[in-house]
Amino acid sequence: MKPSPALFTDAIDGDAMLADACAWSAVNTGTANLDGLARQAAMLADAFSALPGEIEMVDPAPVTAVAPDGSEVEKAHGQHLVLRVRPDAERRVILTGHMDTVFPADHPFQDQQWLDDETLNGPGLADMKGGIAVILHALKALEATRAGQSLGYDVMINSDEETGSLSSSALIAELARGKYAALTYEPSALPDGTLAHARGGSGNYSVIVTGKSAHAGRNPEDGRNAIVAAADLAVRLKAMTHDALSVNPAKIDGGSANNVVPDHAVLRFNIRPKSVEAAETFASDLNALLRSIEAQHEVGIHLHGGITRPPKPVDERAQRLFDLVRSCGAELGQEIGWKSTGGVCDGNNIAACGVPVVDTMGVRGGAIHSPDEFMIVPSLAERAALSALVLARIASGETV
């Protein structure tokens, strides 16, 4: 027998959800703010202890970045929260969220303010402190039902999603492996609740160019200009853009005094492949281009980085999960649609593991990554009821 939607609409406490989201938004959790992330993690561990299962704080995997001088340095990250419930259940799912935001500790956007009776402006409310509240309260409502007792699930809330989940990608893959389905709690693609459907991928690269210094007036011919090589590479990378791939050269570091031929440069760029095939072709073309630049400019080149978010097509199983979310929304009086997007998130990583995922199950809101970020407050309870009903349907044997 299918659980009634009323079970969940009646069980969701919207005021409690709002209190949680506001308390968490008040803690600055910029990805580099390790103290703030530790405070937030402790608050989340306390909140999620209301659910059965074991909570673990997982250390971040080592991550390196390229400094402006071309050296590789270790980049520190916060811990990631994992809750495991009924690990031996026949049918298990994974729910994911992130506690970090794009606003560093010294950013002026730190407070909340009401824009109208239903709209609250505040850092991370939509992306995604509100989404974490949806996870928690949906699972509380699920646990109060008979159907919920048969479903196993893992909850993973990482601390580095906004910078590509480099220190948590292996953890995501480990937890996603073998799961029946996945829900991720990024905010809706549009304020009306539209879900993100297929997604392109994303990769971030740094190219370290090593030339040879010389006096710019006396013997420039003896130098090998790393800045010129990096600039040539940037122009040729941009020319690789086509319908299935966008390439964005973003920054060049390097050089010294005006009268010195620069012997080092670092070019940073991002790619957005729309398909796995486009990503693979780019990797081959990039290797050939780097060798060409090396030979033409007589410089050394070292590549750092790669694709961090694989493209996320929607296959038949994933579409069935979208259809289930839409039918549950209809039962709750919520109209659910979807659209493809160029944005990326942890849903890309989960889909790459072969697990069907809907990755915008969080609150309705907008203007994320800006001081105008807002959350539509009634969507807290709406989305929690939606998730609880979807999970109950999966627990009851719904096919995905």
Confirm if 65 and 167 have CB atoms less than 8 A apart: no
pLDDT in tens, 241-294: 999 999 999 999 999 899 999 999 999 999 999 999 999 999 999 999 999 999
Q: Supply angle C-alpha 377, 96, 78, rounded to 5.
A: 100
User: Average of pLDDT values for 40-45?
Assistant: 98
Query: Coil, strand or helix: which one is 65?
Result: strand
Query: Coil, strand or helix: which one is 400?
Result: coil
Q: How confident is the model at residue 1 (pLDDT cuts 50, 70, 90)?
A: low
pLDDT at 5: 79
pLDDT at 338: 98
Query: For the chain, what are the domain ranges?
Result: 5-67+74-199+312-395, 202-309
CATH of 202-309, one of 3.40.50.880, 3.30.420.40, 1.20.1440.130, 3.30.70.360: 3.30.70.360
pLDDT in tens, 192-239: 999 999 999 999 999 999 999 999 999 999 999 999 999 999 999 999
pLDDT at 130: 98
Q: Do domains 5-67+74-199+312-395 and 202-309 have the same CATH topology?
A: no
User: Of 194, 215, 152, 169, which is closest to residue 309 (Cα–Cα)?
Assistant: 169
- Take residue 189 and report the two structure tokens written for it: 């693609």
- Take residue 53 and report the two structure tokens written for it: 């299962």
Residue with tokens 């459907």: 197
Query: Coil, strand or helix: which one is 334?
Result: coil
pLDDT at 221: 97
User: Average of pLDDT values for 328-357?
Assistant: 97
Q: Percentage of the chain with pLDDT > 90?
A: 95
pLDDT higher for 9 or 171? Answer: 171
Query: Coil, strand or helix: which one is 176?
Result: helix
Least confident of 83-87, 129-133, 147-151, 181-185: 147-151
User: Average of pLDDT values for 167-185?
Assistant: 98
**Amino acid identity, position 13:** D
- Domain at 5-67+74-199+312-395: CATH code: 3.40.630.10
